[in-house]
Each structure stands twice: as structure tokens, then as C-alpha cells.
């Protein structure tokens, strides 16, 4: 019966990824059916329930809501991903700040082949989600041997100074925010995380020739950009930036910094704004 139920979930995911039923209200209905089925299955929620198809490769399906179920329909931010795949230069880097389970990182790394060489730096602060990202990376390596030597994973947050912060592990990952570190609050509810500057990591791993930097940090974008965009970091400035906005009114502060350093807006989606560097 367990395998039958998992089979039903896979069919629903397939329908959601390949038909109009994977959008809007229909998607919410499909997610309701998936969650109803999951509630009847006994399993360890800290472990994947099964392996599922995801774009043109496979990842692990986790059913504890830390990873939003709609992500598994393979419809999130497809325009941005396609744009990166079409424009990333050979022998260059893709920096993914706020990688989650690997929506961007795995997709971009999977274009590696005998004729294409792209390096990915995948940064995720949540240690629970980071372990899932790591497992998905290992699974991708088993599907594409060219990924292995072109991928770096790092479990930390990116900020404007070195230090520590906390995240509430009971909040689903899509909405979790970094808050000020207080030792007395580290318990079963909060997780201590390391915060570092992007420039420090790029220097440490000797990264240059960056085609894309993608930033999705639930409101932390301004602090990251303000610290990163300094003249002494100019060699790290990417050719393209993808920055989450989610229609946040405070996003204008981030955009002012980006435009100040000679970037132009290429296009905007429901989630992100994509910028291109103008070289003068």
C-alpha cells in the first residue's frame, strides 16, 4: 500500500509538471491531494520519502514541509534558469547564494559535459536544508559524472560582516529569516548559523571569472550587496546578477546599489530582477 501511495504522488507531480494543472489554483488542489496522501504514510520525516524527476534529472523528495511542495513541480523560476543556461560562459562560475535544495545550482551544474565546463558555488545557511542539498548533489553526480569536479558546497549565510546568527527551524525554509544571535536562545527551536562575507569566500576559494551571481536570502539582499559592491571587490563583479525581490518595497535600496555600479535591468519576473553589467 505504501508503494501504491507513493506512486500516486509521483503521478500527481508528473501531471503538475507537464500540464496546466500545475499552475495557480489547480496547483494548490494538487498539493492538497499530495499532503492528504502523505498524512496516511508512516515515515521518518527527516529522510527523503522517494526519488523524483526534477527538470531533466532526479532529486530526493522530502515531505516535512521544510521544502515547499510546489518546488517539486519543476515550474519555479524556469525563465531565469533558462536564461542562465543560455548565457553562462564556458569555464566560468555560477554563485548561488541561498541555494535551498538546489533549484538553480543543480540545474546549472547539470549542463556540464564533455564539451561544456561550468563551475558552481552553492551556499546555503540552513544546516537541515544544506544536508538535503548535499544529498541532491551526490545524486546528481551519479547521473552526470562531469558535475563532480565543478561544484563547491558551503554551509553558511552571507552577510555584511563575520559572525553568527540564528534561524527558526520550525519555520518552512522558504520563509525563514536570519535573526540576531543570542546564545541563551539556542535550543530546540533555533539553529546557530555562521555568517561570512561573500568577498571572503571568493578570495578563499580563488574564484574569478564569474558569469552569474544569484541572491535569494529572504530580505538579506541589501546587506550582502552593500558590502560586496566596493571598488576593491571589482574583480569579482559578475557579468549578470539575479536578485530576489518578491515585490518587496525595500528592494529599491538594493537596486540603487546595483545600478550605481553600471548594471542595467534586463527583465523582471514575479520573483527576481535580472541585471547585466555594462563595461565602460
* 263 and 241 Cβ atoms separated by less than 8 Å: yes
End-to-end CA distance of the chain: 64
pLDDT value of position 164 = 87
What does the pLDDT average to over 200-218? 93
Q: How far apart are CA 165 and CA 114, in angstroms?
A: 41
- Looking at residue 138, the DSSP 8-state letter turns out to be H
Nearest to 71 by CA among 110, 17, 122: 17
pLDDT value of position 138 = 97
* 39 and 9 Cβ atoms separated by less than 8 Å: no
Nearest to 96 by CA among 72, 63, 129, 70: 129
Nearest to 239 by CA among 261, 254, 257: 261
Report the CATH number of the 78-277 domain.
Answer: 3.40.50.150
Q: Residue 91: pLDDT band by 50, 70, 90 thresholds? A: very high
| pLDDT tens-place string over residues 150-164 | 999 999 999 888 888
Checking if the pLDDT of 239 tops 60, the result is yes
What is the pTM (predicted TM-score) of this model? 0.91
Which of 25-34, 62-71, 83-92 comes out lowest in average pLDDT? 62-71
Q: How far apart are CA 57 and CA 206, in angstroms?
A: 29
Q: How far apart are CA 14 and CA 126, in angstroms?
A: 28
Strands 57-61 and 50-54: antiparallel
Nearest to 159 by CA among 207, 108, 213, 199: 199
State the cell numbers at 41.
504514510
For 147, residues 6+ apart whose C-beta sits below 8 A from its C-beta are 109, 110, 112, 137, 140, 141
pLDDT value of position 191 = 80
| pLDDT tens-place string over residues 174-200 | 556 666 655 555 566 778 889 999 999
What does the pLDDT average to over 248-267? 89
Query: What are the structural domain ranges in the chain?
Result: 2-73, 78-277
Residue 246, φ and ψ in degrees, nearest 5: 45, 35
* Max CA distance (Å), the chain: 64
Task: Name the average pLDDT for the chain.
Answer: 89
Amino acid at each position: 500500500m505504501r508503494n501504491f501511495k507513493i506512486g500516486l504522488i509521483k503521478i500527481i507531480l508528473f501531471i503538475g509538471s507537464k500540464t496546466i494543472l500545475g499552475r495557480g489554483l489547480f496547483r494548490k488542489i494538487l498539493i492538497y491531494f499530495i499532503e492528504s496522501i502523505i498524512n496516511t504514510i508512516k515515515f521518518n520525516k527527516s529522510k527523503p520519502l522517494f526519488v523524483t524527476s526534477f527538470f531533466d534529472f532526479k532529486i530526493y523528495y522530502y515531505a516535512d514541509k521544510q521544502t515547499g511542495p510546489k518546488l517539486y513541480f519543476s515550474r519555479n523560476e524556469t525563465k531565469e534558469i533558462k536564461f542562465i543556461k543560455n548565457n553562462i560562459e564556458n569555464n566560468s562560475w555560477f554563485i548561488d547564494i541561498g541555494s535551498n535544495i538546489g533549484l538553480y545550482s543543480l540545474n546549472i551544474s547539470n549542463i556540464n559535459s564533455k564539451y561544456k565546463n561550468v563551475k558552481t558555488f552553492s551556499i546555503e545557511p540552513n544546516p537541515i536544508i544544506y544536508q538535503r542539498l548535499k544529498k541532491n548533489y551526490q545524486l546528481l553526480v551519479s547521473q552526470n559524472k562531469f558535475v563532480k569536479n565543478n561544484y563547491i558546497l558551503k554551509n553558511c549565510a552571507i552577510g555584511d560582516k563575520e559572525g553568527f546568527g540564528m534561524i527558526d527551524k520550525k519555520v518552512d525554509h522558504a520563509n525563514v529569516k536570519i535573526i540576531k544571535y543570542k546564545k541563551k536562545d539556542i535550543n530546540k527551536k533555533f539553529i546557530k548559523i555562521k555568517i561570512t562575507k561573500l568577498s571572503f569566500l571568493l578570495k578563499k576559494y580563488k574564484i574569478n571569472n564569474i558569469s552569474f551571481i544569484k541572491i535569494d536570502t529572504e530580505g538579506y539582499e541589501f546587506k550582502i550587496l552593500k558590502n560586496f559592491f566596493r571598488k576593491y571587490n571589482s574583480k569579482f563583479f559578475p557579468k549578470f546578477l539575479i536578485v530576489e525581490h518578491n515585490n518587496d518595497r525595500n528592494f529599491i535600496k538594493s537596486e540603487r546599489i546595483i545600478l550605481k555600479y553600471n548594471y542595467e535591468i534586463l527583465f523582471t519576473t514575479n520573483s527576481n530582477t535580472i541585471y547585466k553589467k555594462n563595461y565602460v
